[in-house]
Amino acid sequence: MSPYQCAHCKETLSFIEQARSPYCEKPICQRAKVQLYVAENKQRLTAQVIAELEKFIKHTPTRKLPSRLRKELKKTSPLIALLPANTNQLTELGQKRKLEFLRHVSMIYKDVKTHNPSANRVYSEQLEPPLPKNEAQLLGNACATCMGYCCRLGQTHAFVDYPTLKNLLASKPAEFSEKDLLDLYSDYFPKQSYQNSCVFQGNKGCTLPRDVRSITCNNFLCDEVKKYRHEVLQTDSELTFAVAVDKKTIVFTSVYSHENFIRVKEKKA
Ligand code: SF4
Ligand code: SF4
Ligand SMILES: [Zn+2]
């Protein structure tokens, strides 16, 4: 009898099978293998970011750290936010992409004016109530560390849909025309945006004010930020060590509470 067993279900593995992987091919065992990989990777990144940021704090003259943050560093252990990273390059925002976006807006504008909500894709129906101020600030700091990985999905539509424009137009006077709407959006085009990402993703983040942004963009929290939010809600501490990762590599790091944000690693890997 073979001395080898699947590390999850304990079923016997042949020598060759075990040399290939300590897990058998059953889906449940393959899932266990992935979970273990994710947990190990998380542990490794957590240890790495703590070491990097502790070093940064140790070598930064105390007077250069905001006093509130200094106090928090003394009395609480930090939360760790593991996040994705936007590694796209900044590039000139070309006329073609701008026009594609404006064509999209024109199309949705006509749908609103003709009360035709299902003619084009609806991304989100309803705006969620805003988060409490401190919580919104902390999650905003996490997103600032990541630099907008999710905005790559905005392409040349920026998630502008029927419910978004219906709300926006309802807040404007009756004489607000299609041209006014296109001019409004055009005023916010950044000079440079991230390659193949949303047309409004500029070097300092989204250039659209919240009341002009789509419902999807105003509601969206990625899974990593949801996990971080869950941890924020579980503890009193808001001191955070944040790390934005591309595959297995740390790309950006930051230290923050809701009041102070210090970007530590900002160069691309
Ligand atoms: S929601 Fe997630 S992916 Fe989007 S900017 Fe924030 S951390 Fe990054
Ligand atoms: S409109 Fe702003 S928040 Fe929405 S996808 Fe584009 S850059 Fe991101
Ligand atoms: Zn198994």
For range 68-83, the mean pLDDT: 88
> Does ligand 1 come within 6 angstroms of the Cβ of 162?
no
- For residue 182, give the amino acid letter: L
Task: Say yes or no to pLDDT of 237 above 50.
Answer: yes
Task: Please state which of the ranges 71-75, 99-103, 186-190, 212-216 shows the lowest mean pLDDT.
Answer: 71-75
Report the distance separating Cα 16 and Cα 231, nearest Å.
Answer: 43
For range 179-194, the mean pLDDT: 98
Mutate to test the pocket of ligand 2, among 90, 108, 208 (most ligand atoms within 8 A of CB): 208
For range 41-61, the mean pLDDT: 90
Task: Say yes or no to pLDDT of 175 above 50.
Answer: yes
Cα 147 to middle of ligand 1, angstroms = 7
Report the distance separating Cα 221 and Cα 23, nearest Å.
Answer: 34
> Is the distance from CB of 239 to CB of 258 less than 8 angstroms?
no
For range 62-91, the mean pLDDT: 89
pLDDT at 269: 42
> Does ligand 1 come within 6 angstroms of the Cβ of 222?
yes
pLDDT at 3: 85
Q: What are the CA-CA distances from residue 161 to residues 62, 154, 165, 181 (Å)?
A: 49, 12, 6, 14
Task: Say yes or no to pLDDT of 114 above 50.
Answer: yes
Q: Where are the domains of the chain?
A: 1-59, 90-220
pLDDT tens sequence across 137-166: 999 999 999 999 999 999 999 999 999 999
Cα 232 to middle of ligand 2, angstroms = 24
Task: Please state which of the ranges 71-75, 107-111, 150-154 shows the lowest mean pLDDT.
Answer: 71-75
Position in ligand 1 atom list of the atom nearest CA 224? 2
DSSP at 130: P
